[in-house]
Amino acid sequence: MSLNRSEQMVHDYLQAQPDELRHWQTVVRTTAERQRDPHAAAAALDDALWAYYQERAGVVSPFRDEVAREGLRRISMRNLAEYLLRLWGPVRKRPAGQPAARPYA
């Protein structure tokens, strides 16, 4: 999965901040439990991650520097949201009787 520059910055920041990382792990799990549809969960997390980016842009150097260079326009956080759901979301089991996906059919 490829993340855009802003998504990568959020990801790296979370990895470097244990408290923030734990908070976002909880947010991702809670969102995945509330939104049974993975697309709806990703959309909700996209919005939450964008709000987080905006908040961090006012107080944390790497975000503030990026906004000073590029401006603060809406950036998709969808790839990061989907990635975090895969990492921290619930394990989804296939329904009984459904064959495994064939990646190169």
How many Cβ atoms from other residues are within 10 Å of residue 43's Cβ?
15
User: Considering the domain boundaries, does residue 101 fall inside one?
Assistant: no
Q: What is the pTM of this model?
A: 0.83
- What per-residue confidence (pLDDT) applies to 82? 96
62-100 pLDDT, tens digit each: 999 999 998 889 999 999 999 999 999 887 666 666 666
CB atoms within 10 A of CB 48: 16
Q: Per the domain annotation, does 81 fall within a domain?
A: yes
Determine the structural domain holding residue 75 and report its residue range.
Answer: 5-88
Would you say residue 93 lies in a domain? no
